[in-house]
Structure 1
Amino acid sequence: MGTPISFTQPTTHSQLLSMGLLEIGTGCRISPYALIEPVDEQGTLRPVRIGDHAVIGAGAILHGGARIGNEACIEDHVTVGKPETGYAVGHTYCGTGTDTHIGHGVTLRSGAILYAGTRIGDNTAVGHHTLIRSHSHLGADSVLGHFLVIERACHLGDRVRCSPLSHLTSETVLEDGVFLGAGIRTVNDKHLIWRETDRTPTLLPPRFEAGCKVGSGSTILSGITIGERALVGAGSVVTHDVAADSTVYGSPARPRPATAH
C-alpha cells in the first residue's frame, strides 16, 4: 500500500532512484525520455521496478506500481499502469493506482496502453495501440494484435491469439489456446442500458472455452459460451451457446457438418 503525500515530479531518473521510487535491474536500456509517474490522482506514491535487461523506449510512461519483468521490451510511447478515471457501468473511478505486472520477456509494442491492475504473463506480446483496461489478466505465450480493446477485468489464458481490431467486452473469459480472428465483436448487455436511473444493467459477458476458434468478423452476443475446440465460421452472429467440438456459421450461426464448404 502506498503513502499519500504532496509530491512534485522530479525531472530525472536519478532523483527517483535516490528517493526509493525507482528500482532498476542490471543491464537495462532505459531512454532518458521515458517518464516515471510514481504518484496517482489521490497523491499515493508507489515505486516502479524494472527487471534485469529490460528495454524502456522513448516516451514510455510507467505509472506507480509498475513491475516490469526481466528482459521485457516496452517500446516507444507505451503507457503502463495508468490509473482509471471517469464513469463506467455504474461506477466512478477516481484515479487510484495499484500494482501492474509485466512478465518476463513480454513485448509491448509502440502505443499500447495498459491500465492499473493489469497482469501480463511471461513471453506474451501486445500489439501496437492496443488498449487493455484495469484489472485484466493475460496468460503466458499469448499474442494480441494491434488496435485491440480489452475492457475491464477480462481474463485471457495461456497461448491465446487475438487478431487485430477486435473488442472484448468487460469480464470476458478466453481460456487456454483460444484463437480469435480479426474484427471480433463481443456483447455483454442484452438491453443496452447505460446510465438509466430506473434500471441497472445485468451484464453477461461471453465465454470462450479452451481451444475454440472464432473466424474474423464474427459477433458473439451476451452470455454466450463457445465450447471447447468449437469452430465458429467467419462473419457469424452467435446467438446461442456453441457445443464443444462443433462447427457453426451463419447469421444466426447454426450447427454445420465439419466438412461442409
Structure 2
Amino acid sequence: MFNMMDEVTRLLPDLAGLADVDLGPGASIDPGVILGYPSGRAGVSGPTRIGAGARLRAGTVIYAAVEIGDGFETGHHSIVREENRIGSHCTLWNNSTIDYGCVIGNHVRIHCNVYIAQFTTLEDDVFLAPGVTIANDPHPVCTKCMQGPTIRQGARIGVNVTLLPLITIGEHALVGAGSVVTGDVPAGMLVAGNPARVVGPVDSLECPFGIVIPYEHGVDVRHRPEWTTVAPLSRPVTRPSKSSR
C-alpha cells in the first residue's frame, strides 16, 4: 500500500483536508481520476481503501470513507460516493453513480448510465444492465425513510428498469427490460411490465441461440476467480439530516 495524498492534492490543489487513500498494488489509473474526494455531508470523513489490481479510467471520482476490494474496474466518468463498501472483482461502467451508504458484494457488474440510490444492497453476482435506476425514498424528499432495495445474489436487472424503494429482488431473479418494479420479486422468477408482474420461472426461458446453460447464476464462470462474501459495513452509515445533500 502507498499513500496517494500527494497525487490527490495535485489534482485538487484548492481543496484542503482530503482523506488518505490506500491503494493496493498493480493499479492502473488514468489521468483525471480523483481519489478521496471530500464528502459535503457534515461529520463524514475517513480513508479511501482500494484493493489490488484496480483499473480506474479517466473521469472516475471515488469519495472519502470508501472501502473497495481487489480487481475493481471503472469506465469513464463513474462516481462512488462516500461510505460505500464494495467487494472484489466488481465493475462500474461509464457515467454510473453509486450514491452513499451502499453495500455491494463480489462480482457485481454495473453497466453504463446506472444510478444506485443511497442505502441499497447488492449481493454477490448481481448484474445491472444499462440505464437501471434505483430509488430509495417513498416520500421525496423526506430524509427520515430513505432505504433502497435489496437485490439478492445472482439477480439480473434488464435495461432501463426502475426499482422503487424498500423492495427485495430474490436470488437469481430476472427483471425484464423497461420494467417498473414496485414490489418484491420472488427468487428465480422472471418479472416484466409496468408495474412488473411475474411471467414465470427463469429456468423456463428458451435461449434464441440454443445455449442451454450460458451462465452459472448470471456469472460467466470462465472469468470467475475465487471470492469471499463481503461483510457488512464496519461502522454505521451517517444518515442524512435536513441540511445534508
Q: TM-score range by the shorter chain?
A: 0.7 to 0.9
Percent identity reads 35
Q: Whose strand proportion is higher, 1 or 2?
A: 1
Which residue in the other structure is 2:234 paired with? none
The answer on whether the counterparts of 1:246 and 1:255 sit within 8 Å (CA) in structure 2 is yes
Contact 1:148 1:166 in 2 (8 A): yes
1:24 positional shift: 6.6
Which whole-Å CA distance do the structure 1 matches of 2:157 and 2:11 have between them?
A: 39
- Structure 2 letter corresponding to 1:84: S
Please report the TM-score for the alignment, with normalisation by the length of structure 2.
Answer: 0.75
- Structure 2: distance between partners of 1:129 and 1:111: 4
Q: How does 1:24-39 map to 2 (within 5 A)?
A: 35=10
Asked if structure 2 preserves the Cα contact closer than 8 Å seen for 1:142 and 1:160, the reply is: yes
Once residues 193 and 32 of structure 1 are traced to their aligned partners in structure 2, the CA distance between those partners, rounded to angstroms, is 37
Query: Does 2:80 match 1:105?
Result: no
Q: What value does the CA root-mean-square deviation take over the aligned residues? A: 2.7
Which structure would you say has the larger Rg? 1
Q: Give the corresponding residue for 1:93.
A: 42
Distance 1:97 1:109 in 2: 24
> After TM superposition, where is structure 1 displaced by more than 3 Å over at least 4 residues in a row?
22-25, 31-34, 36-41, 258-261
What residue number does 1:188 align with?
A: 136
Q: Distance in 1 between the 2:79 and 2:8 partners?
A: 22
In structure 1, the gaps of 5 or more residues are 1-21, 26-30, 44-62, 86-91, 195-199
Distance 1:205 1:118 in 2: 18
Matches within 5 A, 1:40-189: 41=16, 63-85=18-40, 92-93=41-42, 97-189=45-137
CA gap of 1:71–1:171, structure 2 versus 1, over 3 A, is same
Equivalent position SS for 1:234: coil
Q: Residues 190 and 70 from structure 1, CA distance in 2 versus in 1: closer, same or farther, beyond 3 angstroms?
A: same
State the aligned residue count: 203
Letter in 1 for 2:42: Y
Whether 1:228 and 2:189 are equivalent positions in the alignment is no
TM-score w.r.t. the length of structure 1 is 0.71
C-alpha distance in 2, partners of 1:167/1:71? 28
